[in-house]
């Protein structure tokens, strides 16, 4: 079974803290994604990576950075957490070519609920 594991399900952090959200996938997927999910806004793409050390900005990259030093791991970093970053964060992965090919799909982690106080 493919697994995308997000190491922290629930976190509470203080404003200004540096926050790391870790994601690991075990299927040797090339593509990895970070989304945030907010009520009424759906999933918005923060960053994605299509290979080790490669990254591209999504729709809402401001206030975030990412790191992909190993193929299986994609980290989301909040350099200085703010209350408007309180949200649910979802990590996902797909094989090269994305979810369009028969048999391919995007696999999601269970989500990380971050509260910034």
Partner 1 sequence: AQSVTQLGSHVSVSEGALVLLRCNYSSSVPPYLFWYVQYPNQGLQLLLKYTTGATLVKGINGFEAEFKKSETSFHLTKPSAHMSDAAEYFCAVTPQSSASKIIFGSGTRLSIRP
The footprint of partner 1 on residues 78-107 (CB under 8 A) is 90, 92, 94, 96-102, 105-106
H or E element that contains 92: strand 87-94
DSSP string, 17-68: --EEEEEEESS--SEEEEEEEETTTEEEEEEEEEETTEEEE-S--TT-EEEE
In the set 4, 66, 81, 114, which binds partner 1 (CB under 8 A)? 4
In the set 31, 75, 85, 87, which binds partner 1 (CB under 8 A)? 31
Strands 87-94 and 73-78, how do they pair?
unpaired
The answer to the question of residue 42 lying near partner 1 (CB under 8 A) is yes
Dist. CA 3–CA 93, nearest whole Å? 9
Stretch that binds partner 1, among 18-26, 29-37, 60-68, 73-81 (CB under 8 A): 29-37
Stretch that binds partner 1, among 17-25, 31-39, 64-72, 78-86 (CB under 8 A): 31-39
Q: Nearer to partner 1 by C-beta: 51 or 79?
A: 51
Q: List contacts with partner 1 (CB under 8 A).
A: 4, 31, 33, 35, 40-45, 48, 50, 90, 92, 94, 96-102, 105-106, 108-111
């Amino acid at each position: 079974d493919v697994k995308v594991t997000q190491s922290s399900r629930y976190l509470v952090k203080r404003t200004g803290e540096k926050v790391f959200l870790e994601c690991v996938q075990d299927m040797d997927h090339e593509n990895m994604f970070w989304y945030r999910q907010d009520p009424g806004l759906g999933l918005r793409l923060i960053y994605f990576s299509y290979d080790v050390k490669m990254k591209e900005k999504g729709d809402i990259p401001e206030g975030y950075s990412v790191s992909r030093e190993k193929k299986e791991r994609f980290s989301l970093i909040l350099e200085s957490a703010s209350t408007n970053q309180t949200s649910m964060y979802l990590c996902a992965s797909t094989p090269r070519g994305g979810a369009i090919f028969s048999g391919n799909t995007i696999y999601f982690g269970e989500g990380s609920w971050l509260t910034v106080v």
